[in-house]
Copies of this chain bind each other. A is one copy, B any other.
Amino acid sequence: MTTPTLDPTDRRILDVLQSDGRISNLDLAAKVGLSPTPCARRVRRLEETGVIRGYGARINPAALGHGVNVIVSVRLVRQNPRDIDEFLRAVKAMPEVTECLLVTGDLDYILRVAAPDVDSLKGFFLDRLKKLPGVSNTTTNLILETVKTTR
């Protein structure tokens, strides 16, 4: 990938934009100690080089009806390509699955699952996740609180 060099000013810009993606260029320039023109140039460059991938609203999951958020650790039985492929395709298609990570360790995939309530989650597990090929073991942790997020 292209790896543009980021100087300290770029990093400060990214820092500010990460916590306030809707700040005006004037305020941003003032915060990072730059005049508006070069500040806008830098932001545009960061966007064009893919350092900034986009902007998004941080939405309260509970308000969206995602009252129940869990982390599901999944272990696949056999690591054969066909099963993995089908598992990944299914996971990508499931709207409840908010995130899916391939990790090392004694488990294979970590899923983040959001559902309106426990009943929906039950259906998701029994009717869908557990029926996927290769899924041998799953452990679930209920998320009680999001203490921090910088993403």
Residues of B within 8 A of A1 (CB): 62
Q: Using CB atoms, name the residue of chain B closest to A58.
A: B53
Whether A55 pairs with B20 at a CB distance below 8 angstroms is yes
Whether A98 pairs with B150 at a CB distance below 8 angstroms is yes
How many monomers of this protein are in the complex?
A: 2
Quick check: which of A11-19, A32-40, A116-124, A130-138 contacts chain B, the rest being far away?
Answer: A11-19
Whether B144 pairs with A14 at a CB distance below 8 angstroms is no
Number of interface residues of A (CB under 8 A): 58
Whether A99 pairs with B151 at a CB distance below 8 angstroms is yes
Known: A3-B62, A99-B150, A101-B146. A56 touches B18 (CB 8 A): yes
Residues of B within 8 A of A14 (CB): 57, 59, 64
Known: A144-B104, A147-B92, A150-B98. A51 touches B63 (CB 8 A): yes
Known: A58-B53, A59-B52, A99-B151. A142 touches B21 (CB 8 A): no
A11 vs B50: C-alpha distance when bound (angstroms)? 28
Q: Using CB atoms, name the residue of chain B closest to A142.
A: B104
A145: CB under 8 A from chain B?
yes
Binding site for B on A (CB under 8 A): 1, 3-4, 6, 11, 14, 17-22, 49-60, 62-65, 71, 88, 91-92, 97-105, 107, 109-110, 112, 139-151
